[in-house]
Amino acid sequence: MKEKLLEMGAKFDDGWSADNKNKEVEKGGSVEALPPEKHRLWFRREKRRGKWVSIVGPFSLGKKESAALLKRLKKRLGTGGTVREDTLEFQGDIVERLKEALQAEGFGIR
């Protein structure tokens, strides 16, 4: 008789493992944080589901630094936003206001 591959209530110590528990962390290299004046940021705006989204990047910052910058900019601009990989996305067509805010923070603009 064939051995059953998976039974309800199977114990993981019998050699089973969950696929989503043992994922290796992607090793794309660590992000070296650059000082703000070394950044050369580009700006783009897109229309998504009928609404404008302003995108700025690429940032060479760590997760905590990106989150802190996003929080300061959202508060200053009075809009929502999110971090996507190495870019920041903001709700609305606010590219000019975003450029002014980032220049005030000391970031380089293309």
> Is residue 3 one of the residues assigned to a domain?
no
Reported as a single tens digit per residue, the pLDDT across 35-62 is 888 888 999 999 999 999 999 999 998 8
In this prediction, the residues of the chain whose per-residue pLDDT falls under 50 are 24-29
What is the count of structural domains for the chain? Answer: 1
> Is residue 104 one of the residues assigned to a domain?
yes
At a CB cut-off of 8 Å and minimum separation 6, what does 69 contact?
59, 61, 88, 105
> Is residue 27 one of the residues assigned to a domain?
no
C-alpha distances (whole Å) from 39 to each of 15, 26, 77, 109 are: 49, 24, 21, 7
Q: How many CB atoms lie within 10 A of CB 71?
A: 11
Instruction: For residue 68, give the CATH number of its domain.
Output: 3.30.780.10
> Is residue 92 one of the residues assigned to a domain?
yes
> Is residue 6 one of the residues assigned to a domain?
no
> Is residue 24 one of the residues assigned to a domain?
no
> Is residue 99 one of the residues assigned to a domain?
yes
pTM of the model: 0.69
Predicted local distance difference test score (pLDDT) of residue 37? 84
